[in-house]
Amino acid sequence: MLEVYSLQEEIGLSEEQLLQVLPRWRELRAKRDGFFSKRGERLDALEALLNRKDNPPTPEEFEAAYQEYTAADEQFWSEYIQEREEIIRLLSPEQKVRYLIFENRTQRDLGRLYRALKEIQRFGERDEEKKR
């Protein structure tokens, strides 16, 4: 709820604009959050591939993993930019600038939160290993 208030206040949306922007923004945010969550998992899989010692990966496996990772990134960003443009078209020139600043700040904040949660998860895993 606080993000909705921030969205409206920081960008200066009218009630009419909020009704048009909010559903698109929520959908875009959910897609972004899902993408970055899965991206972390994909990075973990790449790291596991690099660290695989029992059956070392072949150059073909590395290439396939690289192609899969970059294809997912390219698809997401293509769709993300398109959907973000739908939101931006509803805004005045000043609001467009305000939106970009708001979006960047919220992405940074979410990135920090995600990294903190990952660190907590890693700490918990290390604690569980010690108990064994």
Residue 111 sits in a domain of what CATH number?
A: 1.20.120
In tens, the pLDDT along 89-101 reads: 999 999 999 999 9
Measure the CA–CA gap between 63 and 79, rounded to whole angstroms: 24
Residue labelled with tokens 């918990």: 124
Q: Answer whether 0.75 is exceeded by the pTM.
A: no
Q: What values do phi and psi take at 51, rounded to 5?
A: -90, 5
Q: What is the band of 45 on the pLDDT scale with cuts at 50, 70, 90?
A: very high
The pLDDT-based confidence of 86 (bands split at 50, 70, 90) is very high
Point out the least confidently predicted range of 77-81, 90-94, 102-106: 102-106
Q: Which domain holds residue 125?
A: 2-131
Question: How many angstroms separate the CA atoms of 44 and 117, rounded?
Answer: 15
φ/ψ of 116, rounded to 5, equals -65, -40
Note the helical H segments in the chain.
2-11, 15-50, 59-88, 93-131
Supply the pLDDT for residue 63.
Answer: 96
For the chain, what percent of residues have pLDDT higher than 70? 91
User: How many folded domains does the chain comprise?
Assistant: 1
What distance in Å separates the CA atoms of residue 4 and residue 24, rounded to the nearest whole number? Answer: 12
